[in-house]
Amino acid sequence: MAVDAVGETTPSPGTPGEASAEAASKPATIYDVARAAGVSHQTVSRFLKGYQGIRPQTQEKVAKALAELRYRPNLTARSLKSGRPHRLAALTHEIEQVGPSRIIQGASAAARQAGYLLDIITFDMTDAEAVDEAVRLAASQDVAGILALASTDAMTEVFERTDFRVPAHIAAEEDDEVTGHRTELSDVGFPSLIAYLAGLGHETFLHIAGPSAYSAARNRARAYERALGDRGLASAGTIHGDWSAKSGYEAVMSRGAALGATAIVAANDQTALGAMLALRELGLRIPEDVSVTGVDDIPEAAYFAPPLTTLRVDFAAQGRSAVQELLSRIDQAPPPRVPSLQTELVIRASTTWGPGR
């Protein structure tokens, strides 16, 4: 390298920028990422596998270096070296629902970050042969592991009886009453929602629940009842729906204008949407006559008329945790620490005013 009169460096003959151009064209390795982040390559490897024991500051450094260097894992080389495929399969039966679709998105992102491709296989859970066919299809793709996403008790039981023939993880929301370990949604989310509504002056409530075959619906219904009981508040009852806007609409219409409650706590946002339409058709104002709340915080919730107060659930985190659980089985490593189902109360105009205000 020569130095010109003004002290700037210029490429020496024979290397006119070739080295830097060649370096720029080469894919980044985990060693490049490690140098850029100022950590060991083992730390980068652990980060890519989704391990939780890395300090947040270190995670940020590694994530920034990965993005800046546009790191992409060489799946072919890795498969040859490890002797195993770097593909995962996800089995799901409700991809059209908000929760399952967001879980899949989180799982897919976590798989990519760990150097795997995630194949998504959907099936009709009403078809008795569909699960076996889905498992056969997954196994035929030469996958390292299978992530089985179950929403209902029946699907969980089917998966538990299934011989997956490769490492597998069944991801299903556990029944709080069976395990004795309540999620943050149950222990923090619903109490904060009921406390907020009580603070607005509400004393009587109606719950429109999901189908009882879903552990998530049972957990939410029990959390609602506990939160009311802890405050000495009255419930006008629980009506079971099927998570749909139609079931929310029909639940309110079945009560008519004599609703018996000044606040509706719907088990999810779609149910709340249907309830809101029924209230308007019955001549009841939202929120002046009846406040309405949901759970999930779907993207459209902020654009309901009026915008919906809801409990935001981090479904993507569930997907990431499920993949980390599966990878620990594949690597025969200790299972990662699985965070509780995160939730946040999002206040909007569907509950701005309490009764009589």
What pLDDT score does 337 carry?
72
pLDDT, mean over the chain: 84
Among 17-21, 37-41, 151-155, 217-221, the range with the most confident prediction by mean pLDDT is 217-221
Query: Could you report the per-residue pLDDT of 233-253, keeping only the tens digit for each?
Result: 989 999 999 999 999 999 999
Predicted confidence band of residue 221 (pLDDT cuts 50, 70, 90)? very high
Strands 168-171 and 234-240: unpaired
pTM for this prediction? 0.74
The pLDDT of residue 84 is above 60: no
Q: What is the DSSP string of 47-104?
A: HHTT-S-S-HHHHHHHHHHHHHHT----HHHHHHHHTS--EEEEEES-TTSHHHHHHH
Q: Which amino acid is at 113?
A: Q
Query: Could you report the per-residue pLDDT of 108-146, keeping only the tens digit for each?
Result: 999 998 889 999 998 887 776 787 788 778 777 789 999
Based on DSSP, count helices (H) and strands (E) in the chain, helices before strands.
15, 12
Query: Could you report the per-residue pLDDT of 159-177, keeping only the tens digit for each?
Result: 888 888 889 999 988 888 8
What pLDDT score does 322 carry?
93
Specify the length of the chain in residues.
357
What pLDDT score does 274 carry?
98
Q: Which residue has the higher pLDDT, 263 or 140?
A: 263
